[in-house]
Amino acid sequence: MTLREKIEGALQKVRPSLQADGGDVQLVDVDQDGLVKVKLMGACGGCPMSQMTLKMGIEKILKQNVPEVTGVQSV
């Protein structure tokens, strides 16, 4: 399983929560240092709490499930 596949699998754990609030997350890129770039979509894209969701939700879950992840950045 590739790093990208592992990250997609972990994102599937976060998606139901985001979709329940009218949003979603899309994996854009993963660099060689483990920095994951995602795009918040739908209601999450313009939400004032999106940075908290990104760091406290998405990044936390990804780091727990994919040890190679060093951080998450919204693009």
pLDDT tens digit string along 16-35? 999 998 999 999 999 999 99
Domain 3-66: top CATH class = alpha beta
Look up tokens 């951080």; give the residue: 71
Domain positions in the chain: 3-66
pLDDT at 29: 96
Percent of the chain residues topping a pLDDT of 70: 100
**pLDDT above 90: residue 49:** no
If you average pLDDT over every residue of the chain, what do you get? 93
Q: What is the pTM of this model?
A: 0.90
- Contact at 8 Å (CB) between 30 and 4? yes
Quick check: helix, strand or coil at residue 37? strand
Look up tokens 């950045």; give the residue: 73
pLDDT at 48: 87
Measured distance CA(36)–CA(73) in Å, rounded: 6
Q: Which of 39, 47, 2 is nearest to 22 (CA)?
A: 47
Residue type, 2: T
